[in-house]
Amino acid sequence: DTAVSQTPKYLVTQMGNDKSIKCEQNLGHDTMYWYKQDSKKFLKIMFSYNNKELIINETVPNRFSPKSPDKAHLNLHINSLELGDSAVYFCASSQRKVTQETQYFGPGTRLLVL
Amino acid sequence: DAKTTQPPSMDCAEGRAANLPCNHSTISGNEYVYWYRQIHSQGPQYIIHGLKNNETNEMASLIITEDRKSSTLILPHATLRDTAVYYCIVRVGNQGGKLIFGQGTELSVKP
Protein backbone atom coordinates (compact mmCIF):
# COMPACT_ATOMS: atom_id res chain seq x y z
CA ASP A 1 0.00 0.00 0.00
CA THR A 2 1.29 3.43 -0.91
CA ALA A 3 1.95 5.53 2.20
CA VAL A 4 1.91 8.98 0.57
CA SER A 5 0.32 9.22 -2.86
CA GLN A 6 0.01 12.14 -5.25
CA THR A 7 -2.11 12.73 -8.32
CA PRO A 8 -1.44 13.36 -11.06
CA LYS A 9 2.10 12.10 -11.54
CA TYR A 10 2.59 14.29 -14.60
CA LEU A 11 0.83 17.52 -15.50
CA VAL A 12 1.43 19.47 -18.70
CA THR A 13 -0.55 22.66 -19.11
CA GLN A 14 -0.57 26.08 -20.74
CA MET A 15 0.43 29.34 -19.12
CA GLY A 16 -2.49 31.09 -17.48
CA ASN A 17 -4.42 27.92 -16.66
CA ASP A 18 -5.54 26.90 -13.17
CA LYS A 19 -4.64 23.42 -11.92
CA SER A 20 -4.80 21.33 -8.77
CA ILE A 21 -2.62 18.54 -7.48
CA LYS A 22 -3.71 16.20 -4.73
CA CYS A 23 -2.00 14.35 -1.92
CA GLU A 24 -3.23 11.60 0.36
CA GLN A 25 -1.48 9.77 3.18
CA ASN A 26 -2.64 6.57 4.86
CA LEU A 27 -0.11 6.66 7.70
CA GLY A 28 -2.43 8.31 10.21
CA HIS A 29 -0.11 11.34 10.43
CA ASP A 30 -1.33 14.70 11.66
CA THR A 31 1.01 16.93 9.64
CA MET A 32 1.39 17.32 5.88
CA TYR A 33 3.70 19.40 3.71
CA TRP A 34 4.21 20.66 0.17
CA TYR A 35 7.77 21.03 -1.15
CA LYS A 36 8.89 22.34 -4.54
CA GLN A 37 11.98 21.05 -6.37
CA ASP A 38 13.08 23.32 -9.18
CA SER A 39 15.16 22.58 -12.25
CA LYS A 40 18.37 23.06 -10.26
CA LYS A 41 17.16 20.31 -7.92
CA PHE A 42 16.78 22.55 -4.87
CA LEU A 43 14.05 21.25 -2.56
CA LYS A 44 12.19 23.96 -0.68
CA ILE A 45 9.25 23.90 1.73
CA MET A 46 6.12 25.74 0.63
CA PHE A 47 3.39 24.93 3.13
CA SER A 48 2.61 22.76 6.11
CA TYR A 49 -0.65 21.82 7.78
CA ASN A 50 -1.09 20.30 11.22
CA ASN A 51 -4.53 18.88 11.99
CA LYS A 52 -5.93 20.85 9.05
CA GLU A 53 -4.42 24.10 10.33
CA LEU A 54 -1.87 26.02 8.26
CA ILE A 55 1.34 26.26 10.29
CA ILE A 56 4.01 27.00 7.70
CA ASN A 57 3.53 29.41 4.83
CA GLU A 58 6.82 30.28 3.18
CA THR A 59 7.22 33.15 0.76
CA VAL A 60 5.05 31.68 -1.95
CA PRO A 61 2.99 33.70 -4.46
CA ASN A 62 -0.65 33.86 -3.44
CA ARG A 63 -1.50 32.12 -6.71
CA PHE A 64 -0.70 28.99 -4.72
CA SER A 65 -3.44 27.98 -2.31
CA PRO A 66 -3.24 24.84 -0.22
CA LYS A 67 -6.33 23.17 1.19
CA SER A 68 -6.59 20.42 3.75
CA PRO A 69 -10.10 18.93 3.87
CA ASP A 70 -9.00 16.43 6.53
CA LYS A 71 -5.80 15.20 8.16
CA ALA A 72 -5.20 12.62 5.44
CA HIS A 73 -5.41 14.99 2.49
CA LEU A 74 -3.57 18.11 1.39
CA ASN A 75 -4.27 19.62 -2.00
CA LEU A 76 -2.49 22.39 -3.84
CA HIS A 77 -4.33 24.69 -6.22
CA ILE A 78 -2.35 26.95 -8.52
CA ASN A 79 -4.00 29.87 -10.33
CA SER A 80 -2.72 31.60 -13.45
CA LEU A 81 0.17 29.22 -14.00
CA GLU A 82 3.48 30.73 -15.09
CA LEU A 83 6.50 29.22 -16.81
CA GLY A 84 8.47 29.45 -13.55
CA ASP A 85 6.00 27.17 -11.82
CA SER A 86 7.41 24.25 -13.78
CA ALA A 87 8.92 21.98 -11.16
CA VAL A 88 8.41 18.76 -9.26
CA TYR A 89 6.06 19.16 -6.32
CA PHE A 90 6.45 16.73 -3.42
CA CYS A 91 3.95 16.09 -0.70
CA ALA A 92 5.14 14.75 2.66
CA SER A 93 3.60 13.77 5.97
CA SER A 94 4.77 13.25 9.52
CA GLN A 95 3.48 12.65 13.01
CA ARG A 96 4.38 15.33 15.55
CA LYS A 97 6.59 13.87 18.28
CA VAL A 98 8.60 15.31 21.14
CA THR A 99 11.96 13.83 20.26
CA GLN A 100 12.01 13.24 16.55
CA GLU A 101 9.86 13.62 13.52
CA THR A 102 10.41 11.72 10.30
CA GLN A 103 8.84 12.96 7.11
CA TYR A 104 7.59 10.54 4.50
CA PHE A 105 7.50 11.82 0.94
CA GLY A 106 5.27 11.05 -1.97
CA PRO A 107 6.53 10.22 -5.47
CA GLY A 108 6.13 13.78 -6.74
CA THR A 109 4.02 15.56 -9.37
CA ARG A 110 5.96 16.78 -12.38
CA LEU A 111 4.41 20.01 -13.59
CA LEU A 112 5.38 21.48 -16.93
CA VAL A 113 3.95 24.85 -17.92
CA LEU A 114 4.19 25.68 -21.62
CA ASP B 1 18.17 25.65 11.84
CA ALA B 2 21.94 25.28 11.46
CA LYS B 3 23.53 25.18 8.05
CA THR B 4 25.34 22.14 6.72
CA THR B 5 28.22 21.68 4.28
CA GLN B 6 28.62 18.55 2.18
CA PRO B 7 30.90 17.63 -0.74
CA PRO B 8 28.94 17.95 -3.99
CA SER B 9 29.81 14.47 -5.24
CA MET B 10 31.50 11.21 -4.29
CA ASP B 11 32.17 7.87 -5.92
CA CYS B 12 32.15 4.48 -4.23
CA ALA B 13 32.86 0.97 -5.48
CA GLU B 14 30.04 -1.52 -5.20
CA GLY B 15 30.36 -3.62 -2.06
CA ARG B 16 32.61 -1.13 -0.31
CA ALA B 17 31.63 1.20 2.50
CA ALA B 18 30.46 4.66 1.52
CA ASN B 19 31.38 7.36 4.03
CA LEU B 20 29.55 10.63 3.48
CA PRO B 21 30.76 13.59 5.56
CA CYS B 22 28.78 16.58 6.75
CA ASN B 23 29.94 19.71 8.57
CA HIS B 24 27.51 21.51 10.86
CA SER B 25 29.77 23.72 12.95
CA THR B 26 26.96 26.04 14.12
CA ILE B 27 24.72 23.27 15.42
CA SER B 28 22.84 24.06 18.63
CA GLY B 29 22.52 21.76 21.62
CA ASN B 30 18.94 20.77 20.85
CA GLU B 31 19.37 20.23 17.12
CA TYR B 32 19.33 16.75 15.66
CA VAL B 33 21.28 15.58 12.62
CA TYR B 34 19.03 13.95 10.01
CA TRP B 35 19.99 12.20 6.80
CA TYR B 36 17.68 11.77 3.84
CA ARG B 37 18.41 10.59 0.34
CA GLN B 38 16.76 11.11 -3.02
CA ILE B 39 17.09 8.44 -5.64
CA HIS B 40 16.64 9.79 -9.15
CA SER B 41 13.05 10.81 -9.90
CA GLN B 42 11.77 9.68 -6.50
CA GLY B 43 10.72 11.51 -3.35
CA PRO B 44 13.26 11.96 -0.55
CA GLN B 45 13.63 9.01 1.80
CA TYR B 46 14.51 9.14 5.49
CA ILE B 47 17.67 7.24 6.41
CA ILE B 48 18.68 7.95 10.00
CA HIS B 49 18.98 10.66 12.62
CA GLY B 50 20.87 11.32 15.86
CA LEU B 51 21.51 13.87 18.57
CA LYS B 52 24.94 13.09 19.99
CA ASN B 53 25.33 9.33 20.19
CA ASN B 54 26.24 7.19 17.21
CA GLU B 55 23.24 5.50 15.67
CA THR B 56 22.75 2.42 13.51
CA ASN B 57 19.74 1.01 11.71
CA GLU B 58 19.14 -1.42 8.87
CA MET B 59 20.11 1.16 6.28
CA ALA B 60 23.14 2.96 7.67
CA SER B 61 25.24 4.13 10.59
CA LEU B 62 25.60 7.70 11.77
CA ILE B 63 28.79 8.82 13.49
CA ILE B 64 28.63 12.20 15.23
CA THR B 65 31.83 13.78 16.54
CA GLU B 66 32.07 14.55 20.23
CA ASP B 67 31.82 18.30 19.64
CA ARG B 68 28.85 17.64 17.28
CA LYS B 69 30.29 19.92 14.65
CA SER B 70 30.43 17.18 12.03
CA SER B 71 29.03 13.78 11.25
CA THR B 72 29.51 10.90 8.83
CA LEU B 73 26.87 8.71 7.27
CA ILE B 74 28.15 5.22 6.58
CA LEU B 75 26.58 2.81 4.11
CA PRO B 76 28.48 -0.36 5.06
CA HIS B 77 28.16 -2.26 1.79
CA ALA B 78 27.10 0.09 -0.97
CA THR B 79 25.06 -1.29 -3.85
CA LEU B 80 24.18 0.24 -7.20
CA ARG B 81 20.74 1.05 -5.78
CA ASP B 82 22.37 3.35 -3.24
CA THR B 83 23.25 5.79 -6.03
CA ALA B 84 21.41 8.93 -4.97
CA VAL B 85 21.73 12.46 -3.59
CA TYR B 86 22.28 12.35 0.17
CA TYR B 87 21.14 15.27 2.29
CA CYS B 88 22.42 16.11 5.76
CA ILE B 89 19.96 18.31 7.66
CA VAL B 90 20.09 19.71 11.18
CA ARG B 91 16.91 20.77 12.90
CA VAL B 92 15.29 21.04 16.29
CA GLY B 93 13.87 17.64 17.03
CA ASN B 94 10.92 18.50 19.19
CA GLN B 95 9.21 20.87 16.83
CA GLY B 96 7.33 19.93 13.77
CA GLY B 97 8.27 21.81 10.68
CA LYS B 98 10.21 22.26 7.57
CA LEU B 99 13.25 20.39 6.45
CA ILE B 100 15.83 22.75 4.96
CA PHE B 101 17.56 20.86 2.17
CA GLY B 102 21.00 21.95 0.97
CA GLN B 103 22.69 20.78 -2.20
CA GLY B 104 23.54 17.37 -0.76
CA THR B 105 26.17 14.89 -1.93
CA GLU B 106 25.59 13.03 -5.16
CA LEU B 107 26.87 9.52 -4.47
CA SER B 108 27.65 7.33 -7.47
CA VAL B 109 28.15 3.65 -6.71
CA LYS B 110 30.10 2.01 -9.50
CA PRO B 111 30.41 -1.68 -10.37
pLDDT band per the 50, 70, 90 thresholds, residue B38? very high
Q: How far does Cα A98 stand from its chain's mean position?
A: 24
Contact A105 B41 (CB under 8 A): no
B96: number of Cβ within 10 Å: 18
Q: Tell me the mean pLDDT in the region B95-110.
A: 85
Q: Which residues pair with A23 in a beta bridge?
A: A6
Q: Is the pLDDT of residue A7 over 70?
A: yes
Name the residue facing B93 among A43, A55, A99 (closest C-beta).
A99
Contact A99 B99 (CB under 8 A): no
Q: Which residue of B has its CA nearest to A55?
A: B97
What are the angstrom distances between the C-alpha of B88 and each of A29, B59, B75?
A: 23, 15, 14
Q: Tell me the mean pLDDT in the region A82-92.
A: 96
Q: Is the pLDDT of residue B84 over 80?
A: yes
Q: Which residues of A touch B103 (CB under 8 A)?
A: 41-42
pLDDT of residue B1: 59
pLDDT band per the 50, 70, 90 thresholds, residue A11? very high
pLDDT of residue A57: 83
pLDDT of residue B98: 75
Contact A101 B93 (CB under 8 A): yes
- pLDDT tens digits along B3-26: 899 999 999 999 999 999 999 999
The burial class, CB within 10 Å (0-12 / 13-18 / 19+), for A83 is: exposed
d(CA A47, CA A35): 7
Q: Which residue of B has its CA nearest to A105?
A: B43
